[in-house]
């Protein structure tokens, strides 16, 4: 039976790869997408979501929800066109939104949680502002969510915004701390594993030749061009968000350790740093809980599943 997934996303390239995977996998029922700011402004993310769900013919079954426009820090968000392209889709310019097509409807998240109580899985691949808002406004309701998966953090590995901070957590560390404080069924998929979820140009060309995962080549060609400039030794594009979605249905792909996590809220370098308490004698107070953190993963499991879903061929 397919997992009911509500995706919170700031739809740039890696979120799009996750969305395509969700559209193509029979094990994922993408019942909704929350459009957040992050890689791109919210309105641009909304435009991308509208384009993608129509391109992959899931518009009638996937609810689109308008999420946050700015972080809880009150700062103006920073966007990354050099990584994701002018419109968030690499070389692609999506069509304009239909006039009057979307209105503020964040309460739809409440309706979806009630509709799929006990079976809904939330996957957050962008900033955590909207998800944190759910814990602030509807903390008891969130107990009806079966699982929450968050792409974010860097534990004892380099960050991708500062030396120690990953972009989703750095973008709203206040929201991250709220989620890590109140969530009781949370799995964190950090850079420790996502940086190794590499899709090579050869993989991209093969997927494109099969014609199932439309637009994947212009997306990942643009993405790889950025990563290659930053790290000439890299062999392909890390698909951070696709790995996070895949983890919901591939329990053996990652190995985990359960630890309490705190986020540094400020500092030029330390803002957004994820700090896990590994002391064996540490005790938790009533405001803390341990969360599953992925520290390693099996690339072969990733490769075979990703290629099988994206091509329609059993790898």
Strands 120-124 and 254-263: unpaired
Calpha distance 12→90 (Å, rounded): 8
Query: What backbone torsions phi and psi does residue 213 show, to the nearest 5 degrees?
Result: -90, 75
**260: which strand partners?**
290
Q: Provide the pLDDT for residue 307.
A: 98
Q: Provide the pLDDT for residue 273.
A: 98
pLDDT tens-digit series, residues 196-208: 999 999 999 999 9
| DSSP letter (8 states) at residue 212 | S
Closest by CA position to 33, among listed 4, 60, 9, 58:
9
Q: Provide the pLDDT for residue 304.
A: 97
Closest by CA position to 242, among listed 198, 291, 187, 295:
198
pTM passes above 0.85: yes
Q: Residues of the chain whose pLDDT is less than 70?
A: 283-288
Question: Which of 133-141's residues contact partners 24+ apart within 8 Å by CB, and which partners?
Answer: 133/68, 133/106, 133/175, 134/109, 135/178, 135/179, 135/181, 135/182, 135/183, 136/178, 138/110, 138/113, 139/182, 141/110, 141/113, 141/114
pLDDT tens-digit series, residues 99-156: 777 889 999 999 999 999 999 999 999 999 999 999 999 999 999 999 999 999 999 9
Calpha distance 57→51 (Å, rounded): 10
Q: Provide the pLDDT for residue 102.
A: 85
Residues 6+ away with beta carbon under 8 Å from 256: 187, 292, 293, 294, 295
Residues 6+ away with beta carbon under 8 Å from 179: 124, 128, 131, 132, 135, 148, 150, 186
Q: Provide the pLDDT for residue 235.
A: 97
Domain that holds residue 307: 3-311
Q: Any idea what the CATH number is for the domain that residue 99 is in? A: 3.90.245.10
Q: Provide the pLDDT for residue 283.
A: 67
**Torsion sign across C-alpha atoms 217, 218, 222, 223:** negative
Q: Is residue 137 within 8 Å of residue 153, measured between CB atoms?
A: no
Q: Provide the pLDDT for residue 286.
A: 58
Q: Provide the pLDDT for residue 157.
A: 98
Q: Is residue 291 within 8 Å of residue 261, measured between CB atoms?
A: yes
Domain tally, the chain: 1
Q: Provide the pLDDT for residue 241.
A: 98
Calpha distance 306→204 (Å, rounded): 11
């Amino acid at each position: 039976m397919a997992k009911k997934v509500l995706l919170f996303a700031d739809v740039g390239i890696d979120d799009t790869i996750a969305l395509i995977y969700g559209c193509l996998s029979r094990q994922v029922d993408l019942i909704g997408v929350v459009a957040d700011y992050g890689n791109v402004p919210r309105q641009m993310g909304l435009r991308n979501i509208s384009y993608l769900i129509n391109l992959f013919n899931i518009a009638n079954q996937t609810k689109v929800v308008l999420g946050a426009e700015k972080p809880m820090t009150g700062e103006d968000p920073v966007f990354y066109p050099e990584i994701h392209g002018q419109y968030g889709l690499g070389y692609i310019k999506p069509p304009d939104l239909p006039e009057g097509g979307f209105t503020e409807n964040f309460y739809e998240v409440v309706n979806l949680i009630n509709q799929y109580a006990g079976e809904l899985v939330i996957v957050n691949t962008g900033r955590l502002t909207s998800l944190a808002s759910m814990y602030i406004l509807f903390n008891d309701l969130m107990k009806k969510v079966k699982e929450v998966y968050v792409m974010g953090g860097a534990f004892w590995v380099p960050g991708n915004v500062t030396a120690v901070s990953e972009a989703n957590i750095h973008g709203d560390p206040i929201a991250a701390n709220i989620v890590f404080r109140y969530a009781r069924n949370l799995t964190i998929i950090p850079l420790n594993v996502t940086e190794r979820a590499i899709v090579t140009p050869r993989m991209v060309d093969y997927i494109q030749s099969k014609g199932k995962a439309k637009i994947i080549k212009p997306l990942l060609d643009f993405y790889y061009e950025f990563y290659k400039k930053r790290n000439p030794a890299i062999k392909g594009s890390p698909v951070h968000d696709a790995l996070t979605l895949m983890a919901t249905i591939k329990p053996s792909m990652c190995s985990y350790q359960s630890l309490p996590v705190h986020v540094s809220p400020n500092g030029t370098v330390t803002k957004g740093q994820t700090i896990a308490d590994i002391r064996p004698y540490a005790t938790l107070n009533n405001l803390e809980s341990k969360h599953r953190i992925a520290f390693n993963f099996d690339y072969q499991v990733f490769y075979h599943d990703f290629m099988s879903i994206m091509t329609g061929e059993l790898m």
